[in-house]
Amino acid sequence: MQNPVIILGAQKLGTTALDIFNSNSVIVYCFLDDSQQLQQEEINNVAVMSNTEDNEFLKLVGKKCDVFVAVEDTAARKGLIKMLKDEHKVVPVNAIHRFSAVSEFAWLGHGNMVGAGAVINNNAKVGDNCIIQSRALVDTKAEIANFVEIGAGAIINSEVIVEEGAFIGSGAVIVSGVKIGKNARIGAGSVVVADVPAKATVFGNPAAPIK
């Protein structure tokens, strides 16, 4: 990656993305964030220049700068990614920490965040705009759909399927071959030994539904 990066979002995900780009000696041009309290401030030595829809900065994207979307709210993140694609004909770059391990035989889409110490093993597939936090493991032949969030230290074992929008809490373990449905939520530290339906929330060891 040769171009500087503009990060949309200057809060927790944004600062994590900055750390990831710094680990690879990639220059971050600026943050854009919709919080007026943050605008014109500096966060970790990078200025928050304006809001996330400021065309004076977004017109640089795809020409002089790359872009990464790091806003916390998933719906807002989806909206910004759609805007970038529709209006500026660009997609976000991947933010992959220098000290992560991504197999050359893994497949990644675009706009993904891969934290320090995370591992993506051979023949795993990760879609677009996923968040894989520090020390998480995505094992061989696991399939992760778009907009999935995997918490720190979570283990996605081999041949697991995680559908779009699912959330896997920190330290959770998903046993090999299990399917996690669309927009399902897995509580932190849970051990999932059976398929989880779409939109369900499960917690515990073994994980059970929360009504």
Binding site feature residues for substrate: 33-34
The backbone torsions φ and ψ at residue 129, rounded to the nearest 5 degrees and listed phi first, read 60, 40
Sign (positive or negative) of CA dihedral 144, 169, 133, 176: negative
- Residue 199 has a CB neighbour count (10 Å cut-off) of 12
User: Residues near 179 by Cβ (< 8 Å), separated by ≥ 6?
Assistant: 160, 161, 162, 163, 195, 196
CA atoms within a 13 Å half-sphere pointing along the CA-CB vector of 59: 3
Quick one: which of 149, 121, 132, 142 has its CA closest to 97? 132
Q: How far apart are CA 141 and CA 178, in angstroms?
A: 12
Distance, C-alpha 55 to centroid of its chain: 24
- Amino acid at residue number 46: V
Residues at the binding site are: 33-34
The backbone torsions φ and ψ at residue 131, rounded to the nearest 5 degrees and listed phi first, read -120, 115
**Using CA atoms in the order 110, 114, 119, 120, what is the torsion angle rounded to 10 degrees?**
-10
